[in-house]
Chains A and B, each alone.
Chain A
């Protein structure tokens, strides 16, 4: 009975909702232009017109993309679990292990509130410390919300660039931490944990159940981030309309060599999610900020979060946390400079 209902739901999603989504997405431009034309007294070319039309066009586009991508990522993630990932990474050598951990970090379900049990599970499963860190860096940094916003506001090239650089930082920072042999800075009790034998089999899911996972992910994530996205886009729209061109060039442009480290220093303690930050920084670029600087700022805000460092304090000594933050920050700064050089 249950599976019949679920089966209908799957058909409904793939043959009704998905085409509807596509239709809506493709007609977004004319539709929003029509709506903007309806607003009395807005006119065209003015500052207010610029800000309002930016918001009306970007907000539904990003929310539409968010729904679809979170849904797809939810289904993809149902094929991965921390347990599978741990088995794949157990006893892996440095580098190979770091590369795998970075990649698996993208697709394995992760929430920073589960960082401790995950860390303990990895250690117990024989995953080397450096490899574990590659995972812990890539998992929060390369997330679907960041991806959606980059895709929607910057285009696919920048989204791809973000994934690749995020991976490079996760792999190299984890490799460095592994090379430094920092196991002594892990709280000793971590290594004494012996998990019980109350094992449970991996639950095999049907495709309907995986689709259900996707729906749950959409409900969970969209309900949590839509406010931040709208706020971010609203602030972005304000900057778009009212801040003069090239305003940011002196502050966050290429010529200001100190802008990359400053952006990272500012970004690390700043705790926000991708949803609020990316719409704002996307507009900064338009006002003359350089891509490397903006990328560095974004990564330090999303990838290095203060609450996560505090959570990790339960299993790591302060020295290791500082080294972790330092290595990742250094990686982000290097990437920032490289991008400023290339573009």
Chain B
């Protein structure tokens, strides 16, 4: 599974990345977590608010930090 966190170093973006890493580690999920900071790359996902969470190339959220349970649910579905 490939998880991408889109965001260019804003406080919320770092928080989301840390949260995703935590959820992945706590639940023993096999996943590669990539932080995308380049705007040109970000625009491939049509998001206009950061941070955004992309799981297996599907945009799951943008502009917010989703709750832990929500992130876990998405990860389990993927």
Contacts and interface: CB of A to CB of B under 8 A. Distances in A.
Interface in B1-42: 8, 10-13, 39-40, 42
B57 A86 contact: no
Contacts of B47: 117, 121
Given A198-B59, A200-B59, A216-B64, A117 B44 contact: no
Interface string A55-99: 000000000000000000000000000110010000000000000
A109 B64 CA distance: 11
Given A113-B12, A216-B64, A120 B43 contact: yes
A86 B48 CA distance: 10
A199 B8 CA distance: 21
B59 A116 contact: no
Interface stretch (A144-152, A188-196, A285-293): A188-196
Interface in A129-149: none
Nearest to B47: A117
Contacts of B49: 82, 109, 111, 114, 117-118
A195 B39 contact: no
Contact of A124 (B8, B43, B57, B63): B43
Interface residues of A, number: 24
A323 to B, nearest CB: 22
B48 A114 contact: yes
A105 B11 CA distance: 23
Contacts of B39: 116-117, 120, 314-315
A189 B10 CA distance: 23
B48 A82 contact: yes
Given A109-B63, A198-B59, A193 B48 contact: no
B46 A196 contact: yes
B46 A198 contact: yes
A82 B43 CA distance: 14
B68 to A, nearest CB: 14
A23 to B, nearest CB: 32
Interface string A188-231: 01000101101110000000000000001000000000000000
Contacts of A193: 40, 43
* Residue among A113, A122, A196, A198 facing the most chain B CB atoms (10 A cut-off): A113
A113 B50 contact: yes
28 contacts: A82-B49, A83-B46, A83-B48, A109-B63, A111-B10, A111-B49, A113-B12, A113-B13, A113-B50, A114-B48, A114-B49, A117-B39, A117-B50, A118-B49, A120-B43, A121-B43, A121-B48, A122-B48, A195-B44, A195-B45, A195-B46, A196-B46, A198-B45, A198-B57, A198-B59, A199-B46, A200-B58, A200-B59
Given A118-B48, A118-B49, 10 more contacts: A83-B46, A109-B63, A111-B49, A113-B10, A113-B13, A114-B49, A114-B63, A116-B8, A121-B46, A199-B46
5 A-B pairs with least C-beta separation: A113-B10, A121-B48, A82-B48, A196-B44, A200-B59
